[in-house]
Amino acid sequence: MLFVSHFSFAGIPSFFEGNVEDNSIPTIGTTAQENLEIIDIAGCSNLDQKELRTSDFGFADGVQDGSLSAENVDLSSKWGLPQGSVIVSVSGASSKSSLQLFEVNRNLPATFRFSGTVPVTIVAEHSSRVDSNLRDGIIALDGVQYVQTSSLPSGIVSGTEANNYYVENTTSSAITASNRLVWESQAAATEIQFYTTSVSLVNGIRIRLTPIICLDTDGDGVPDATDLDDDNDGIYDSVEDANSDGDDDPLTNPTDRDKDGNPNHLDIDADNDGIPDNVEAQTTNGYISPNDDQVDTVIANNGVNSAYPNGLIPVNSDNATTPDYLDGDSDNDLVLDSTEGHDFDFDGQPDNTYTGTDTDGDGLDDGYEHGTVDDGYNFNDGIDDPANDLPDTDGTGDVNYRDIDDDGDGTDTPDEDTDADGDPTNDDTDADGTPDYLDNTVDPKLDTDGDGVPDSVDIDDDNDALTDNIEDANEDGDNDPLTNPTDTDGDGVPNHLDMDSDNDGIPDNVEAQLTEAYIAPNDDDAETYAANNGLNSAYPEEHLPVNSDGDDLPDYIDLDSDNDTVADNNEGNDFDFNGEPDQSLTGVDTDGDGLDDGYEHGTVDDGFNFNDGIDDPANDLPDTDGTGDVNYRDIDDDGDGNDTPDEDTDADGDPTNDDTDGNGTPDYLDPGTDTLDTDGDGVPDSVDVDDDNDALTDNIEDANEDGDNDPLTSPTDTDGDGVPDHLDMDSDNDGIPDNVEAQLTEAYITPNDDDAETYAANNGLNSAYPEEHLPVNSDGDDLPDYIDLDSDNDMVPDSNEGNDFDFNGEPDQTLTGVDTDGDGLDDGYEHGTVDDGYNFNDGIDDPANDLPDTDGTGDVNYRDIDDDGDGTDTPDEDTDADGDPTNDDTDTDGTPDYLDNSVDPKLDTDGDGIFDSVDLDDDNDGILDATEDPNLDGDDNPLTDVLDTDNDGQPDHLDMDSDNDGIPDNVEAQLTEAYIAPNDDDLATYEENNGLNSSYTDGLEPVNTDDDDLPDYIDTDSDNDLVPDNNEGNDFNFDGVPDQTFTGSDTDADGLDDGYEHGSVDDGFNFNDGIEDPANDLPDTDGSEDVNYRDIDDDGDGTDTMEEDGNTDGDPTNDDLDDDGTPSYLDPEEPTNDAIVVMQMVTPNGDGKNEFLYIENVDLALNNTLQIFNRWGMPVYSGTDYNNQNKVFDGRSQGRTTINNEEYLPAGVYFYIFEYEMLNGQNITDSGYFYISQ
């Protein structure tokens, strides 16, 4: 468990003392016995795990009679803890002849007892040897649960009887495991006993302790783990935690509202608004300051200040979902608390602002601290009287951050956001430097339209004949158009002050009225305006705006008033009828009237010229046909009987770019384009039921997505070529005309050569198809063939199968992207001239003979699921399972398998005499094909949809090395020590075993060394040690670089790359590649446990390979601490930075022990620097080249001018940062705590 402090000073973590009287390390209880279940409590952290040695108790080596005993030995200094923290008693112990290690006598158990103020967890270990039919074990005398964590070899079993945890050898011979036998306590322990029934007199034991300490964030003497209010703000931790993890524990997954790294329960300002939570949690006038409690009082109240015996229930001023202490805008007035709570000069800007720095780590930003920035948890930050200590403009209601009307002028703060941008702080109507929401003297005489009637009483502020209440959507529900006004076009001018509310260039005054009944405004004087409350006398009654298309929006705020897909800003400004507006938006509004300069008919600075000079809209605005209405309100602009949306020929939603006759005038403005006859049959498209003469009526070829049952509007264009299906001879662009694909091959009917009279009589339908023709759907899926790119669903597209006449898997005719005659059939597919127009079947009068058909049975290829008629469906001939049967040619004769019914059915990949079709192990690696196939297609056939793990083109069941790591699958599938080489079987034996080598008659069950999802033969890192198998299995000189590497060539196509072949690169399926004895033939650095690619500790130095990744880049191969050319993970003799240890105790009392801070092996720490800080983060020592001799820290300060350098620092916990360089140049930073005791 990592120690993580929630506080920092100058970047240095702070340690909090649990008892302000004696500076002891904070714990949960007073003895270890009271702390049995604390290991997983949030806020508690583990110190370093350290082993107990016989020398810790003054015991001699070589005592084997169980007579070693000691009572209450204080070992606290091993971790730099105060005396009394960790106390150990021992009885019945023995000692090893050297190394200061413990042993246990077979006739006398060894007992260890633990007391003191700091609880400990235990790792207990027995020797790796267990004698035959005997037990070794431990007894948890305190009842604590243990878990056995070591890997047990075959023959040794583990068990539990009550509190007795043991391992037992169930064989008749002694067994030595690869590692010691280990148990770990699952809670803090107080008493454990070791025993052995070994044949030997003694058996080796080891015991390691991990002390547990706990934090006290607010320094009130109650550790966080039991403190109900960790930040002493009066709000219980359980209230400050959203409990998102559902465990009702505020210390786990705590809530951090302001994302500052301090969870709410450790943050005195949880919403970062600069107002302490203690203040925001209480009402302003009922505020109670915290008491100055003594430690005993705080402990008695479980960490809660006595001013709040039951904890505070946080105030919620705006009654929204969030209480004030978490609410960035407590009164919901659009001005943040961080402004209102700090704006003492009432200018709309806070005088204290956020800096992003929190020196004392209390959660209150330095910019908001009222006293020193390093005052720690000053719970209310000196705000003892919020009513007077915080800004209050009007002195009534409440302080500003809780007052909906800050200036007390009767207008709520949100309603003083004049420009409706959501920020009242930038609205200063009278420009006196004080925002309106803080200024109760704002000028009430503002008159936007200059009619002499102030906006405050003017019912039509922009004089457009629409009263302000109509132009306001009233989203705030206050029936006041001046508050939160609507701004439809988002130009910063609200509708009630905007002459052109939708920015289409047509004034609202014009759009609000009927064209023919338009009334221009009168030239009223001020007296008349005053009499009419600001409304022009031309409109004596409230004017309801016109809504031409009857949708949700009236014309003055509708961008397309007639809903004809051409915008009003085009139709209302296109005077030359070319589909482009002659006046367009510039984004500039010089006179601020809301009408863009690009649309102004007179001067751009004419102010509120209410109709912009459009006194006769019927004649002043564009009207192509002179009937119905002007264009922006006319659904048929050119009066040709075709509505404008229906003249969007290319169905791209824009009729302006459709000009069928190419005369420069778009169809929707050109009444001369209504006789269009696409297929040239003499019947205009407007009445032709089959516009492209493909025998499919237009209503069939239209998906009718617009629901109008009219195939000419919003028509379907399946292939996206710009030609709608009902005008497209080849709707799916596969080169086969729709007329052919719509009919059965054998029953195909060619079109008749009808004359115009016949076509007219049949409404444009060819007489060969007198009835509506339902298109064929060969594969029965959602799409009929004429719009299905793969009509038989065989994974080969129709564009290939319908055009591959030489049966080589490649189409002889391909898409060019050019369509000269515009019939929808690409030039690359035209059988005759590319400019033959609508030649309805493109000369394919007999599809059964005119289109490719490999087998001459079933159907032509594009509709045949088994193209070559060999009994194997085309998808099943996709050997490499890449979804493309065209690139699979097993016999390499140039014809893909799916078109080749002569493919050798006697293929024998591994050359064992058994054809693959019946061979259970096609690559003879000992792993059944059924095992090497995950059966993703569910057909229980390993030959279809095969797995190719390494993507080398060889499916696993045909691949000797499925993961491309250079180690054959036959080797990786078996245990190293139990490896069985394949036999040299003859044909009869292979036949008898269905292609399986007689060494593996039942097939191999592949080994999975690291127990992850993948067995070794398809796992690129079998031992999960960060070094891939292709390195560890090929690095014979142990330099971290493989001696054999991947080349990308596989001459004999056995799946084993040429770079890994041990013999000839062309030796075929040599099943184990000559690796007859993997234990000796493959690299094994330490010669123990297993070969390197399966050994988690390659060099056997006791440090796992992944732990020797010194630079933590995920690659242990580039870490060489002693710079000797051998990576650390392969170098058992290499020293590590673990050997450099900063001791945890300084006792400068003259007794000769721990007089200075001792650093073990400091001579290995090159170019070192040491810094030491006190609990407040202040430096007390800084030095370079520390050497345990003349450059040492002896407990006296060298860093603070306030402390005499000759005086020793007070007892307590200090923090160090030790930086140094290893022999190989690697930079190390070590940090932690130590204790000074007098």
State the amino acid at position 60 in one-letter form. A
Contacts of 108 (CB under 8 A, 6+ apart): 65, 66, 92
Torsion of CA 3, 5, 11, 16, to 10 degrees: -110
Residue 117 lies in a domain: yes
**Residue 191 φ then ψ, to 5°:** -160, 130
pLDDT tens digit sequence for 997-1028: 999 999 999 999 998 889 999 999 999 999 99
> Tokens standing for 759?
């076509």
Least confident range of 639-643, 893-897, 1090-1094, 1192-1196: 639-643
Whether 33 shows a pLDDT value over 60: the answer reads: no
How many residues can be counted in the chain?
A: 1238
3-state helix, strand, coil in the chain (%, to 5): 15, 10, 75
Contacts of 100 (CB under 8 A, 6+ apart): 53, 54, 55, 59, 61
Residue 813 lies in a domain: yes
Residue 445: the pLDDT is: 62
Number of H helices, E strands in the chain: 20, 25
Q: Are residues 179 and 63 in the same domain?
A: yes
* CA pair distance 6, 217, nearest whole angstrom: 7
**Residue 108 φ then ψ, to 5°:** -145, 115
Q: Which of 171, 190, 214 is the last residue of a domain?
A: 214
Would you call 207 helix, strand, or coil by DSSP? strand
Q: Are residues 626 and 738 in the same domain?
A: no
Mean pLDDT over 829-837 rounds to 88
Q: How many CB atoms are closer than 10 A to CB 967?
A: 28
Whether 640 shows a pLDDT value over 80: the answer reads: yes
Query: With contact defined as beta carbons under 8 Å apart, do 1135 and 1165 qualify?
Result: no
> Domain total for the chain?
4
Residue 283: the pLDDT is: 96
Residue 32: the pLDDT is: 32
Nearest to 8, CA basis, from 996, 1217, 1069: 1217
Query: With contact defined as beta carbons under 8 Å apart, do 54 and 69 qualify?
Result: no
Residue with token string 């052919």: 740
* CA pair distance 436, 417, nearest whole angstrom: 8
Q: What is the mean pLDDT of the chain?
A: 88
Query: With contact defined as beta carbons under 8 Å apart, do 722 and 654 qualify?
Result: no
DSSP state for residue 723 in the 8-state scheme: S
Residue 634 lies in a domain: yes
Residue 758 lies in a domain: yes
Q: Which of 174, 196, 214 is the last residue of a domain?
A: 214
Q: Strands 87-95 and 68-74, how do they pair?
A: antiparallel
Q: How many CB atoms are closer than 10 A to CB 521?
A: 17
H or E stretch including 1220? strand 1212-1221
Residue 1226: the pLDDT is: 81
* CA pair distance 1073, 317, nearest whole angstrom: 79
CATH at 1158: 2.60.40
Q: How many CB atoms are closer than 10 A to CB 423?
A: 15
Q: How many CB atoms are closer than 10 A to CB 544?
A: 11
pLDDT tens digit sequence for 179-192: 899 999 999 999 99
State the amino acid at position 403 in one-letter form. D
Would you call 568 helix, strand, or coil by DSSP? helix
Q: Are residues 638 and 774 in the same domain?
A: no
Q: What's the domain range around 147?
A: 32-214
Whether 1029 shows a pLDDT value over 90: the answer reads: yes
> Tokens standing for 868?
């070559």
Q: Which of 819, 854, 889 is the last residue of a domain?
A: 854
* CA pair distance 1193, 1215, nearest whole angstrom: 13
pLDDT tens digit sequence for 484-508: 789 999 988 889 999 999 999 999 9
* CA pair distance 320, 756, nearest whole angstrom: 76
Helices (H), 224-356: 237-240, 277-280, 295-300, 337-340
Would you call 526 helix, strand, or coil by DSSP? helix
Query: With contact defined as beta carbons under 8 Å apart, do 970 and 982 qualify?
Result: yes
Residue 464 lies in a domain: no
pLDDT category at 1204 given cuts 50, 70, 90 is low
Nearest to 964, CA basis, from 1017, 890, 889: 1017
Instruction: Report the percentage of the chain scoring pLDDT > 70.
Output: 94
Helices (H), 666-727: 698-701
Q: How many CB atoms are closer than 10 A to CB 1156?
A: 18
* CA pair distance 794, 856, nearest whole angstrom: 17
> Tokens standing for 478?
């206050």
Query: With contact defined as beta carbons under 8 Å apart, do 654 and 648 qualify?
Result: yes
* CA pair distance 692, 694, nearest whole angstrom: 6
Mean pLDDT over 93-113 rounds to 93
Q: Strands 202-214 and 120-126, how do they pair?
A: antiparallel
pLDDT tens digit sequence for 839-868: 888 889 999 999 999 988 889 999 999 999
Q: How many CB atoms are closer than 10 A to CB 1038?
A: 18
Residue 1147 lies in a domain: yes
**Residue 1013 φ then ψ, to 5°:** -75, -20
Mean pLDDT over 1118-1140 rounds to 82
* CA pair distance 913, 992, nearest whole angstrom: 11
Residue 874 lies in a domain: no
* CA pair distance 848, 938, nearest whole angstrom: 35
Whether 1200 shows a pLDDT value over 70: the answer reads: no
* CA pair distance 362, 53, nearest whole angstrom: 42
State the amino acid at position 669 in one-letter form. L
Strand residue runs (E) in 1029-1086: none
> Tokens standing for 686?
């407007």
User: How large is the greatest C-alpha to C-alpha distance in the chain, in angstroms?
Assistant: 125
Instruction: Please tell me which residue, 720 or 890, carries the higher pLDDT value.
Output: 720
* CA pair distance 402, 491, nearest whole angstrom: 32
Residue with token string 């920035």: 373
Identify the burial level of 444 via C-beta atoms within 10 angstroms of its C-beta, where 0-12 means exposed, 13-18 middle and 19 or more buried: exposed
Residue 746 lies in a domain: yes
Residue 418: the pLDDT is: 81
**Residue 1121 φ then ψ, to 5°:** -60, -40
**Residue 8 φ then ψ, to 5°:** -150, 150
Q: Are residues 718 and 639 in the same domain?
A: no
Cα distance between the two ends of the chain: 30
Taking the CA atoms of the chain, what radius of gyration do you get in angstroms?
A: 44
Residue 940: the pLDDT is: 77
pLDDT tens digit sequence for 273-288: 999 999 999 999 999 9
* CA pair distance 680, 662, nearest whole angstrom: 18
Query: With contact defined as beta carbons under 8 Å apart, do 1219 and 1168 qualify?
Result: yes
Q: Are residues 645 and 727 in the same domain?
A: no
* CA pair distance 350, 341, nearest whole angstrom: 8
Q: Are residues 516 and 638 in the same domain?
A: yes
* CA pair distance 1223, 1166, nearest whole angstrom: 7
Would you call 1169 helix, strand, or coil by DSSP? strand
Mean pLDDT over 602-620 rounds to 88
Q: Are residues 210 and 116 in the same domain?
A: yes
pLDDT tens digit sequence for 697-728: 999 998 888 888 877 777 899 999 988 999 99
Contacts of 870 (CB under 8 A, 6+ apart): 855, 900, 901, 903
pLDDT tens digit sequence for 766-818: 999 988 778 999 999 989 999 999 999 999 999 999 999 999 999 999 999 99
Least confident range of 606-610, 778-782, 1083-1087: 606-610
> Tokens standing for 8?
């920092």
Q: Are residues 720 and 649 in the same domain?
A: no
Q: Are residues 147 and 72 in the same domain?
A: yes
Q: Are residues 732 and 583 in the same domain?
A: no
Whether 1068 shows a pLDDT value over 90: the answer reads: no
Residue 1205: the pLDDT is: 58
Q: Are residues 96 and 201 in the same domain?
A: yes
* CA pair distance 1182, 1172, nearest whole angstrom: 6
* CA pair distance 397, 393, nearest whole angstrom: 10
Query: With contact defined as beta carbons under 8 Å apart, do 203 and 106 qualify?
Result: yes
